[in-house]
Amino acid sequence: GGEDAINTTIINFNNEKMQITWATRELFPNENVSFFYIFGEGKNKVWKPCTTYLLDQDYNSGCLFKTEGPTLTFSIRNSNGSDELFFKNLKADFYIKPNPPENVTFFWKEDTVTVSCNKPEKNAWCLRFELQYKSKFDKDWQSRTSKCCSIGEQGFDPRKCYSFRVRLRRLVPHCNVVKYSSDWAAETFWMNGTLLDSCDDGITPQSKTVIILSCSLGVLLMMLILLILLCKWQRVQMSVLPAVPDPKYPLADLFNDHNGNLQEWLDKNDHVVLQTKLEYEEPESITEAESQQEDGKNSDKQGPLEKIFTFSGAAENNDDKAAEIACLIPAPNTTAPFAGFHIIMNDDMYVML
């Protein structure tokens, strides 16, 4: 045994109770040690056994007892108390952990707030009063420290809700050898000098409605922009990469009927090409006929019909097929009446009956 041979944690709760703990599983494995202590100095002092042990898996790992003086000596021994394993002398006043602030008050004046609490009866000069606050829009706390036990801060926005918390801190090394602070007092919520249950109360139903509508409009606007970009992208894609038609649809008979044999398909479709050519030439003939028809009207005003054709060849022919269709090549510049019109006929025209 010996002083400082093992690591212990010593806390003097506001100079009212002492708590001393040790790592029993590491320091004293499989052994249930005992604890004894003495306040004050002198040879006639009597060791007091611990009456309230702190346990770690059913093993003694600490002791809680009443503070009875400024100096303390404690001893850790084996289970029956015969062998001393560790002892230590210390100043109990240098391990004080203060209690949380009591009767905390807030005084608001415009954008300035003053926070204060009750002043301890003893050694108030060893304490520092710490204030932390943040708005509902802040992630981290802002901290201010002052002498015990009042602090003022300005610059608060009356439109924001703020959370406040305070605690007392012991000075090191003038009063403590360990940086002990009290637990935080109960957190409070303020807005423009009014105490609230929480900062969520500062959000009115109207503001919630505005937030929901704003989010909805934002989503609709994004969808509209994406739709416009999609349409423009399709146009750009069609202009840059036009679609190539599949030849199997306009040339279906080439692949289906001729198995891709181009020469066989061309031989079979010569008459189709010729017919297409005649169809393209037909409008020119019609235009020429209309022009000749106008000339016929003008000549009709000057004189009667010069010559009327009769198709006697078809009547004299006994063949049924020849009688059904007869083609007659007229003489040049011959006029023929048809449905009230006079048509000028030349040698490159024919009449089908």
Question: pLDDT tens digits for 61-79?
Answer: 999 999 999 999 999 998 8
> Taking 60 as the threshold, does the pLDDT of residue 352 lie above it?
no
Give 320 or 139, the one with higher predicted confidence.
139
Task: Report the pLDDT value the prediction gives residue 144, as an integer from 0 to 100.
Answer: 93
Give 279 or 26, the one with higher predicted confidence.
26
Task: Report the pLDDT value the prediction gives residue 330, as an integer from 0 to 100.
Answer: 53
In sequence order, the 6+-apart residues with CB closer than 8 A to the CB of 56 are 24, 25
Q: Count other Cβ atoms within 10 Å, centred on residue 189.
A: 18
In sequence order, the 6+-apart residues with CB closer than 8 A to the CB of 131 are 115, 143, 144, 145, 146, 151, 153, 164, 165, 166
- What domains sit in the chain, N to C, each tagged with a CATH number? 8-97 (2.60.40.10), 105-196 (2.60.40.10)
Q: Mean pLDDT of all residues in the chain?
A: 77
Query: How distant is the alpha carbon of residue 22 from its chain centre?
Result: 49
Helix, coil or strand: residue 267: helix
> Taking 80 as the threshold, does the pLDDT of residue 344 lie above it?
no
Query: How distant is the alpha carbon of residue 36 from its chain centre?
Result: 61
> Taking 80 as the threshold, does the pLDDT of residue 112 lie above it?
yes
Distance CA 330, CA 336 (A): 10
Element (H, E) at 228: helix 205-240
Average pLDDT for 260-282? 61
> Taking 80 as the threshold, does the pLDDT of residue 259 lie above it?
no
Q: String of b and e for 112-130 (b: at least 16 CB within 10 Å)?
A: ebebbbeebeeeeebbbbb
> Taking 60 as the threshold, does the pLDDT of residue 176 lie above it?
yes
> Taking 70 as the threshold, does the pLDDT of residue 31 lie above it?
yes
Give 192 or 4, the one with higher predicted confidence.
192
Task: Report the pLDDT value the prediction gives residue 266, as an integer from 0 to 100.
Answer: 74
Residues forming beta bridges with residue 306, ordered by sequence position: none
Candidate from 19-28, 161-170, 242-251, 279-288 with smallest mean pLDDT: 279-288
Which long-range contacts (C-beta less than 8 Å, at least 24 apart) are formed by 300-305? 300/335, 300/342, 305/335, 305/337, 305/342
- Residue written as token pair 């060791």: 47
**Quick check: 45 and 99 in contact, CB under 8 A?**
no
**Quick check: 192 and 159 in contact, CB under 8 A?**
yes
Nearest to 158 by CA among 110, 121, 214, 101: 110
Which long-range contacts (C-beta less than 8 Å, at least 24 apart) are formed by 193-196? 193/108, 193/158, 195/106, 196/161
> Taking 80 as the threshold, does the pLDDT of residue 316 lie above it?
no
According to DSSP, residue 181 is labeled B
Q: Which amino acid is at 36?
A: F
pLDDT band at 340 (very low <50, low <70, confident <90, very high): low
Q: Which amino acid is at 268?
A: K
Average pLDDT for 169-176? 91
- Give the sheet arrangement for strand 17-22, strand by strand: 53-56, 59-66, 17-22, 8-13, 96-97
> Taking 60 as the threshold, does the pLDDT of residue 322 lie above it?
no
Angle, alpha carbons 235-241-242 (nearest 5°): 80
| pLDDT tens readout for residues 196-242 | 988 885 445 455 677 888 898 889 999 989 888 888 777 766 776 66
**Quick check: 65 and 148 in contact, CB under 8 A?**
no
**Quick check: 71 and 94 in contact, CB under 8 A?**
no
Q: Are strands 8-13 and 53-56 parallel, antiparallel or unpaired?
A: unpaired
> Taking 50 as the threshold, does the pLDDT of residue 313 lie above it?
no
Task: Report the pLDDT value the prediction gives residue 351, as an integer from 0 to 100.
Answer: 47
Task: Report the pLDDT value the prediction gives residue 82, as an integer from 0 to 100.
Answer: 85
According to DSSP, residue 93 is labeled G
Average pLDDT for 102-118? 91
Task: Report the pLDDT value the prediction gives residue 321, as an integer from 0 to 100.
Answer: 45
Average pLDDT for 102-124? 90
Give 297 or 106, the one with higher predicted confidence.
106
Task: Report the pLDDT value the prediction gives residue 50, as an integer from 0 to 100.
Answer: 93
pTM for this model (two decimals): 0.53
Q: Are strands 59-66 and 71-77 parallel, antiparallel or unpaired?
A: unpaired
Task: Report the pLDDT value the prediction gives residue 16, as an integer from 0 to 100.
Answer: 92
Percent of the chain with pLDDT strictly greater than 70: 65
Angle, alpha carbons 228-233-239 (nearest 5°): 130
Give 299 or 93, the one with higher predicted confidence.
93
Candidate from 45-49, 156-160, 161-165, 262-266 with smallest mean pLDDT: 262-266
Residues in the chain: 353
Task: Report the pLDDT value the prediction gives residue 41, as an integer from 0 to 100.
Answer: 79
Sort 160 into a burial class: Cβ within 10 Å, 0-12 / 13-18 / 19+: middle
Task: Report the pLDDT value the prediction gives residue 207, as an integer from 0 to 100.
Answer: 58
The token pair that represents 61 in the structure block: 């790992």
